[in-house]
Amino acid sequence: MGDRIFDLWDLEEILEGISARGLWAAGPLEPWGLQFVVESDQLDHNSLGERIGVLEKQLQIPLQFTLVPPGTFYDSEELLGIGEVGKPRYIFSAEELKMKAYEKSLRL
């Protein structure tokens, strides 16, 4: 990524390039690049590698995608309970992604 700064809209545009819909998290890919964690229930896996390759060439950075099952980002049972309400968090540090801090981190 070097001098390049990606904002939330840039990240969403990258995800549109692989037809990802739904919940996701993103952060830096060491030593440079972007990594994404995406709930994969609706992703078309057949041409995923090809689409990632096109995006890497277009953006001139390495991209890594980890696909996780639905429910990874939040517990659907919590939606029925009373508790905190907050905005979803999309951006994590490289260390937080390694520790899977995105798991059950979403408060709806």
Q: What is the pLDDT of residue 60?
A: 92
Picking from 42, 2, 4, 8, the residue whose alpha carbon sits closest to that of residue 25 is 8
Q: What is the pLDDT of residue 108?
A: 45
Q: What is the pLDDT of residue 35?
A: 93
Q: How many CB atoms lie within 10 A of CB 7?
A: 9
Q: What is the pLDDT of residue 67?
A: 86
For 80, counting Cβ atoms within 10 Å of its Cβ (0-12 exposed, 13-18 middle, 19+ buried), the class is exposed
Kindly give the confidence (pLDDT) of every residue in the chain, 108 residues in length, as a single tens digit, with 9 standing for 90 and above: 457 788 889 999 998 888 777 788 999 988 889 999 988 766 666 778 888 999 999 999 999 998 888 878 776 666 566 565 556 678 888 898 888 888 766 554
Helices marked H in the chain: 8-17, 48-59, 94-98
Cα–Cα distance for residue pair 42/22, rounded to 1 Å? 8
3-state secondary structure of 26: strand
Domains of the chain by start residue, with CATH: 8-98 (3.30.300)
